[in-house]
Amino acid sequence: MGYSGVRGGMDAILAAERLVRRRRDHADAEWASTEQIVLRFRLAVDRIMGEAGLYDPHVAADAFRQAEGDVLEAAHLVRAYRSTLPRLAVTEPVDPDQMTVLRRIVPAHRTPDGPQLLGRTTDYTGRLLERPDGPPEQPEPAETPADDGGTAEQRHPRRFLDLLRELDLAVQHDPPADDPEPFDITRAAARPPAPRSAVLSSMARAETGALVGLWYRSILGPDGDVHEITLGDTRHGRIRLHVRHPHTGNPVSFGRIRVTEAEGIEDLDGAEEDRTRFDVGYGLCFGHNERKAIAMANLDIAWRRAGPDSPLEQLLLLTTDGLDSGGFLEHLKLPHYVTFRSMVDRKLARRTADAPQQPRVPEPFGEECR
């Protein structure tokens, strides 16, 4: 920490941290237990898990409390915590069709195969602020597998994409012949040109606001027109994870996680594109985060249409990670005395390049700033 080199700097740093802890500890004593945060701030907890790349609601809730509600800082804390954990096993590939659906909408079709399940949402009501009149209510029970209910058709509906394929309206993208392992962005940095698995993984861990902003810019044409975009299946539900038993080699289920999944449908209208079909993009992320999944699905199409080494690929891989961009921004608050002093010296030197005498250093940038 650059301030520690200044006289009294370390004492000031410790005092500043004590101010943070004092306020935070006082708030914790009043209400902010881990379980309350998981129940009452579920969307923030889900976003933290996604941007940190670790599915653990209680760890995310603790980070949310420590960061005083700063989601990006909380994701930073969780990702740092994740780096200390051992990697015990790798799960088997999951089949999204096995998801137990809690919410499922298909904006592209009124009566798709299976029901439209609105689930838990305020999408269809006005955004009006509700001010509490009395003490806070007791938290409601957490969702449990027993809350799923419904029939098999409701909880495992057929995909709308299957209908498009039956009508030969969806472009068929052939999978790679060698079926390589997915790119692990936690072990190596993804750089262009990158496989699709690296792009999707980067988007799944990207900062939600950055991804939505990039998506919004990608759909706006040069004249402000908006590309034709529709959503197919948009789902939120639970999916079961499996690992191989070390002795028997059989897949063993060890739990379920909540995920959000979206399929974006885009009209193909390029000169060299198949204008008789639609292209379909895919997005899947931790928790209930429909903004990110929808942006992912449509950016998946945009990245594919832009081609390899496109500026969009560079933006997706290099600029949407909240810890990278936020970290660079945060470091600007640290001391830059020497750097700025060198900039001042260069400016003064250019100003007096034709004068024989040495440039006079203004008092605010004297020896004490070196």
Q: What is the pLDDT of residues 126-175, one digit of tens each?
A: 888 888 876 555 555 555 444 556 777 778 889 999 999 999 999 888 77
Helix, strand, coil percentages in the chain from 3-state DSSP, rounded to 5: 45, 15, 45
Cβ contacts of 288 within 8 Å, gap of 6 or more: 42, 43, 46, 103, 236, 258, 260
Together in a domain, 200 and 218: yes
Together in a domain, 36 and 111: no
**Domain-located, residue 299:** yes
**Domain-located, residue 226:** yes
- Omega within 30 of 0 (cis) for the link into 157: no
DSSP label at residue 361: P
Q: Which residue type sits at 187?
A: R
What pLDDT is recorded for position 145?
A: 46
**Domain-located, residue 137:** no
- By mean pLDDT, which of 32-41, 127-136, 187-196, 201-210 is the weakest? 127-136
Q: Which residue type sits at 73?
A: E
Together in a domain, 247 and 306: yes
Domain range for 54 = 2-82
**Domain-located, residue 70:** yes
Together in a domain, 352 and 229: no
**Domain-located, residue 139:** no
Q: What would the pLDDT profile of 98-131 be if each residue is shown by its tens digit?
A: 999 999 999 999 888 888 999 989 888 888 888 8
Together in a domain, 217 and 266: yes
Closest C-alpha among 236, 253, 258 to residue 56: 258
Together in a domain, 100 and 247: yes
Sorting pLDDT into bands at 50, 70 and 90, what band is 356? Answer: low
Q: What would the pLDDT profile of 22-56 be if each residue is shown by its tens digit?
A: 777 766 566 678 999 999 999 999 999 999 999 99
Distance of CA 34 to the CA centre of its chain: 22
**Domain-located, residue 142:** no
**Domain-located, residue 37:** yes
* Beta strand spans in the chain (E): 100-105, 229-244, 251-267, 278-286
Together in a domain, 361 and 212: no
Together in a domain, 217 and 72: no
pTM of the model: 0.85
Assess whether pLDDT exceeds 70 at residue 302. yes
Number of domains the chain is built from: 3
When the pLDDT of each residue in the chain is averaged and rounded to a whole number, the result is 85
Together in a domain, 213 and 300: yes
What pLDDT is recorded for position 114?
A: 86
Together in a domain, 235 and 308: yes
Higher-confidence position of 135 and 343: 343
Together in a domain, 53 and 27: yes
Tokens of 96: 């999204």
**Domain-located, residue 138:** no
Assess whether pLDDT exceeds 60 at residue 267. yes
Together in a domain, 232 and 311: yes
Assess whether pLDDT exceeds 60 at residue 359. no
